[in-house]
Chain A
Amino acid sequence: MSAIYLLLPISLLVALAFLAAFIWAVRSGQYEDTCTPALRILTDDPPGNRPRKQLSPRSNATTSAHER
């Protein structure tokens, strides 16, 4: 039974990691538009000329011009 003392905190840590992922997803705006990504995935980008690094709308502010 003493294994539980170790396993229980570990399982909670794993669960917390998922909670953190969920919080990150909500805060980065992924729950605000659940429709457009479903449309986007149906279209292919022309090869080669990939769009620049995809950013979440919030973090745009931190990017600068030299990403171009």
Chain B
Amino acid sequence: MPVVNNTDSGTLVADPAPLAQPGLRLPGQGGRPECGQAPACYHCGAACPTNPPRLEEKAFCCQGCLTVYELLAENGLGHFYDLGPQAGVRVNRPNSREQFAFLDEPAVRDRLVDYADDAICRVTFRIPAIHCIACVWLLENLFRLRPGISRSVVNFPRRECVVTFDPRAVRLSEVVALLASLGYEPDFNLAHLDSRRTDPAARRLWLRAGVAGFAFGNIMLLSIPHYTGLNAAEQPGLRMLFGALALALAVPVLVFSASDYWRAARVAWRRRVLNIELPIAVGLAALFGQSVYEIVSGRGSGYLDSMTGLVFFLLCGRIFQHKTYDHLAFDRDYRSFFPLSVTRLRYPVSAQSSEPGYETPKAGSRGPGEERVALAQLAVGDRLLIRHGELIPADARLVAGRALVDYSFVTGESEPVARQAGDHLYAGGRQMGGAIEVETVKPVSQSYLASLWSQEAFKQNRRDTLDNLTNRFSRRFTPTVAVIAVAAAVFWFWAGDGARAVRAFTAVLIVACPCALALAAPFALGSAQRLLARRGVFLKDPHVTEALARVNTVVFDKTGTLTTAGVTSATFEGEPLNDTERCLIAALARHSTHPYASALTASLGEAGGPGEVADYREEPGAGVAGRVAGHEVRLGSAAWLRDGGVAMAAPTAGPGVCVAVDGRFRGWFRLASPLRPDTETLLAGLAAGYELALLSGDSERERERFRGLFPASARLHFHQSPLNKLGFIHELQAAGRIVMMVGDGLNDAGALKQSDVGVAVAEQVGAFSPASDVILDADQVRSLPAVLRFARQVVRIVRLSFMLSSAYNLVGISIAASGLLSPLVCAILMPLSSVTVVGFACGATRRAARRVGLPAGSAPAGQTGVA
């Protein structure tokens, strides 16, 4: 289980704003098993063992939780438990400062800290375990627990905590160790180090909108005399003052607030393409030019109110669309998968000779010959110690120990493979079982796993921002407007009214400025993005909706996508086992760390107490054997049983564990990863409108099972390497299909990147998922058909909004072409069209979400609050 196992626990989160935050779960929604009468841990709420450690009548599930409780109670932070009963995070392993000692090395430290001088150091930690109000409170009270920490501030949506401390009083590793001891171990990884997040764009957008809004409001006030028809000519002084002030207010809007539009228009002009910004820029220029002329020449008060209002509305649209889920990483690559540090074995002679810059570990040593080093400092030839559950960080050769490597995340192969000393191990595999010693043969960046990222698909920036709905519409719209403007000018010129010709020309450009048009898509797509996020579907940016609507082929990965990852169910086949036998098997299986053994233990449940196993033997890739309560028990492959002298009828096929008790074959456990609930309905729902395909890195043995689930036309491919998957998507695209890939592992990363829409399925939103366009909460895989239907509806709504805004433009242009456009008409028409288009776009999107039957807020991201 991951470190965090309590994303629920009756936490009280009384805030309406972060509804779209993943991880805020309602009580009873989360994954904590309710376990009989066992008391719940006072700290974390997990079920306590039979004889739990107790303190002051309070039961705890483990010593770790008890320690945290003591620490909090001693420092007067007992209030933590009032904020959310059992709100703590389970501390499931002992932490020591030594474990994090590598963080104190200057090379690592410098990349982690945001700011450091002699007296002050500030670090931003990503802490995925933050899940409730009590977490925020506890983390912000860190300074009470450790002198030297001066301040800590939590950013809840991003799951971040900024800690400021005095490096003379407390080391970075001590801060991290303190966090880890409380259960809030920060998440460090390579990618996080390399890309420091800075998002000045959002700040600039707020500033621009603020300035535009300020100017808009004040210019409207200054225009009141004009609106009310007061004859300003009677007071030339006042008119001059009003005009000058309005101009002074409008200039920052034109120069600062609208600068993005100028830039985009210039780009479009240089690339000889039409985008929506070009007519906007022309409109703004026409508005401002006409206004300056009118004010300076004293003919009128100009259109500055319309101009600033237009910029203000446009920027509001941008802010609305700028909703980013920056706590979710859509661009992760393999480096995020790797830990920040590894255990290096120190061989005094070779180490010192092979590395010139080698530092003798001071605090870093964790016992004789072992040290934690940053992954970045890893060199070819280093000896590493990989423990159970740890990743192999680089391609390596197995030196000692018996390796059982789970490559499921890298290749999709669900069965772990056994390797012997001397064998080559690929990076990204996870060691199951005991500790092994390996020698790296390639640097991290050149390992097998990294090679996928050198593919073409990762180099191209696929989505051209110029190719979106709005710009496509604009390509028809802009030339039409230009023709009308010229035609109007020519007409009035021929009619002999030169002044009117100029006025009509600029008026058409002004009124055709596609403000409402530019707002339709941001508001419709932006609200679609929000509505989906509330249901556990997170889009990288609003434009993904457009791509979703065009999809006509859906490709699924098997492991972790259609089936649940990591969970294996075991069903026994053969003569039913009696209770004693179940106890014997469970007792033996508990001794092995092999995933099959864990699956057996899980399915046999708490059968009997812990039996003593004598004469325990384990052969990787074969099976285990031992004597339990006087009975000889063998679990494993058919060959393993035969080696032990068990007579067997026939070798069994497929993944399974054969069982023999006292030399007699008893049957076998068939192992399968269960399908996600509603997979049948999901596939049936999609089969009607989409071409389907399955790509699995796994072997053929489950073909039959999936053949029945998919429609007859669907292509099912097994034994697919990451490169095969990428190639398959490419092939489909070459045949003109618009492909959506749904996958979860690194082995799907290439396919996700190549596809038109890559959907990464994540058991825990916010935990690792490969680069993608959409991150989908695993519970929501079944709502994919509804999501696709919704995307099509939204695109239709955007088109209708375009029609609506074109209708307004038609009215405006016909007035303008006749040369009768007054600033007042302009000032009314522009906001009116914008507001109605925005209202329509938002309202219709909401209605569409209800109509297509998107499950209303059932996702973890859904409604939270005081029930």
Residues of A contacting B206 with CB < 8 Å? 26, 31
Q: Are A33 and B115 in contact (CB under 8 A)?
A: no
B210 near A57 with CB under 8 A, answer no
Residue A10 CB within 8 A of the other chain: no
Residues of B contacting A57 in the complex (Cβ-Cβ under 8 angstroms) = 122, 153, 162
Asked if residues B150 and A35 are in contact (CB atoms below 8 Å), the reply is no
The answer for the CA separation of A18 and B151 in the assembled complex, in Å, is 30
**Are the CB atoms of B238 and A4 closer together than 8 Å?**
yes
Q: Which of B17, B83, B168 contacts A38 (CB 8 A)?
A: B17
State whether B14 touches A8 (Cβ < 8 A).
no
B685 at interface, CB cutoff 8 A: no
Contacts of B38 in A (CB 8 A): none
Measured CA separation A44–B21 after assembly (Å) = 24
The proximity string for A residues 46-68 relative to B, scoring 1 for CB distances below 8 Å and 0 otherwise, is 10010110110100110111011
Contact partners of B49 in chain A: CB under 8 A: none
Which of B79, B133, B136, B153 has most A Cβ within 10 Å?
Answer: B153
What residue in chain A is nearest B116 (Cβ atoms)?
A61
In whole angstroms, how far apart are the Cα atoms of A7 and B517 in the complex? 39
* Cα distance, A63 to B115, chains bound together (Å): 12
Query: Which A residues are CB-close (under 8 A) to B203?
Result: 26-27, 31-32
Give the complex CA separation of A31 and B157 in angstroms. Answer: 13
Nearest chain B CB to A56 CB, angstrom units: 9
- The interface residues of chain A lying within 8 Å CB-to-CB of B136 are 36, 39-40, 43
Q: CA of A54 to CA of B150 in the docked complex: distance in angstroms? A: 10
Complex interface: stretch among B137-145, B270-278, B304-312, B328-336: B137-145
Asked whether A33 and B119 contact (CB < 8 A) given A5-B241, A55-B151, the answer is no
Minimum Cβ distance to chain A for residue B141 (Å): 8
Q: Indicate if B156 sits at the interface (CB-CB under 8 A).
A: yes
Using known A-B contacts A12-B218, A31-B203, A49-B144, determine if residue A36 contacts B154 with beta carbons closer than 8 Å.
yes
- The reply to whether A19 and B77 contact each other, CB–CB distance below 8 Å, is no
Quick check: is B211 within 8 A (CB to CB) of the other chain?
Answer: yes
Asked if A33 and B207 sit within 8 Å, CB to CB, the answer is no
Interface residue total, chain A, C-beta cutoff 8 A: 40
Residues of A within 8 A of B640 (CB): none
In-complex Cβ contact of B156 among A27, A35, A45, A55 (8 A): A35
Known: A51-B140, A52-B150. A43 touches B83 (CB 8 A): yes
Interface set, chain A 7-36, CB cutoff 8 A to B = 8, 11-12, 15, 18-19, 22-23, 26-27, 31-36
Cβ contact within 8 Å between A33 and B210: no
Residues of B within 8 A of A38 (CB): 15, 17
Contact A64 B15 (CB under 8 A): no
B69-86 near A? 1/0 per residue, CB < 8 Å: 000000011010001000
Q: Which residue of B lies closest to A45 (CB)?
A: B141
Question: In the complex, are the beta carbons of B14 and A33 less than 8 A apart?
Answer: no
CA distance A45 to B77 in the complex (A): 9
Q: Is B164 an interface residue (CB 8 A)?
A: yes
* Alpha-carbon distance between A60 and B113 when the two chains are bound, in angstroms: 13
Across-interface contacts of B122 in A (CB, < 8 A):
57, 60-61
Measured in the bound complex, the distance between the Cα atoms of B298 and A51 in whole Å is: 60
Please, what's the 1-or-0 string for B577-597, where 1 marks a CB less than 8 Å from any CB in chain A?
000000000000000000000
**B238 proximity list for chain A (CB < 8 A):** 1, 4-5
Q: Determine the residue in chain A with the shortest Cβ distance to B119.
A: A65
Which one, A19, A32, A36, A64, contacts B119 given CB within 8 A?
A: A64
Cα-based distance from A15 to B213 in the complex (angstroms): 11
Minimal Cβ-Cβ distance residue in A for B148: A68
Chain B 221-247 near chain A by CB (<8 Å), digits 1 or 0 = 100000000000001011001000100
- Report chain B residues within 8 Å CB of A26: 203, 206-207, 210
Per-residue A-contact encoding for B51-84, CB less than 8 Å = 1, 0 else:
0000000000000000000000000110100010
A54-B119 Cα distance, complex, nearest whole Å = 18
- Nearest opposing residue in chain A for B144, CB measure: A49
How far, in angstroms, from A17 to B12 measured CA to CA in the complex? 39
Q: Which of A5, A36, A65 is within 8 Å of B155, CB to CB?
A: A36
In the complex, the answer to whether A19 meets B83 with C-beta atoms within 8 Å is no
A1→B241 CA distance, assembly (Å):
13
Is the CB–CB distance between B115 and A61 below 8 Å? yes
Task: Tell me the nearest residue of chain A to B203, going by C-beta.
Answer: A26
For A67, the closest partner residue in chain B by CB is B150
Out of A18, A23, A27, A68, name the residue touching B150 (CB < 8 Å). Answer: A68
Q: Provide the residues of chain A in CB contact with B241, threshold 8 Å.
A: 4-5, 8
**B158 contacts the other chain (CB 8 A):** yes
| Contact assessment for B214 and A19 in the assembled complex, using a CB-CB cutoff below 8 Å | yes
B142 to chain A, nearest CB (A): 10
B152 (CB) vs chain A CBs: closest residue: A51
Cα distance, A18 to B211, chains bound together (Å): 11
User: Which of B79, B133, B162, B214 sits near A39, CB closer than 8 Å?
Assistant: B133
Residues on A with C-beta less than 8 A from B663 are none
Out of A4, A45, A51, A65, which one reaches B151, CB within 8 Å? A51
User: B136 to nearest A CB, angstroms?
Assistant: 5
The yes or no answer to B803 lying at the interface (CB within 8 A) is no
How far is B141's CA from A34's CA once the two chains are assembled, in angstroms? 20
Shortest A32–chain B CB gap in Å is: 7
Query: A65 touching B166 by the CB < 8 A rule?
Result: yes
Query: Nearest Cβ distance between residue A67 and chain B, in whole angstroms?
Result: 7
Q: Which residue of A lies closest to B162 (CB)?
A: A57
Q: Which residues in B have their C-beta under 8 angstroms from that of A67?
A: 150
List, in ascending order, chain A residues with CB within 8 A of B18's CB.
Answer: 35
Query: In the complex, which residues of chain B have a beta carbon less than 8 angstroms from the beta carbon of A35?
Result: 15, 17-18, 21, 156-157
CB distance from A17 to the nearest CB of B (A): 11
Residues in B neighbouring A68, C-beta threshold 8 A: 147, 150, 166
Minimum C-beta distance from B507 to chain A (A): 30
Check B166 against A36 for contact (C-beta < 8 Å). no
Indicate if the CB atoms of A39 and B156 lie closer than 8 Å. Answer: yes
- Whether B157 lies near A36 (C-beta < 8 A) is yes
Kindly provide the distance from the CB of A53 to the nearest chain B CB, expressed in whole angstroms: 9
Give Cα A14–Cα B14 distance, bound, in whole angstroms. 36
Residues of B within 8 A of A27 (CB): 203, 207
Q: Is B202 an interface residue (CB 8 A)?
A: yes
Contacts of B221 in A (CB 8 A): 11
A-B CB contact pairs (8 Å), 30 listed:
A1-B235, A15-B214, A15-B217, A18-B214, A19-B210, A19-B214, A26-B206, A32-B199, A35-B157, A36-B136, A36-B157, A38-B15, A39-B13, A39-B15, A39-B136, A40-B140, A43-B79, A43-B83, A43-B134, A46-B76, A51-B141, A51-B143, A51-B151, A52-B150, A52-B151, A57-B153, A60-B115, A60-B164, A64-B120, A68-B147
* Interchain residue pairs A-B with the least CB separation, the first 9: A65-B119, A36-B156, A35-B18, A38-B15, A43-B137, A33-B155, A26-B206, A19-B214, A22-B210
Interface residues of A (CB under 8 A from B): 1, 4-5, 8, 11-12, 15, 18-19, 22-23, 26-27, 31-36, 38-40, 42-46, 49, 51-52, 54-55, 57, 60-61, 63-65, 67-68
| Additional 6 contacts, C-beta under 8 A, given A12-B245, A60-B151, A60-B164 | A32-B155, A39-B15, A39-B136, A39-B156, A42-B14, A61-B122
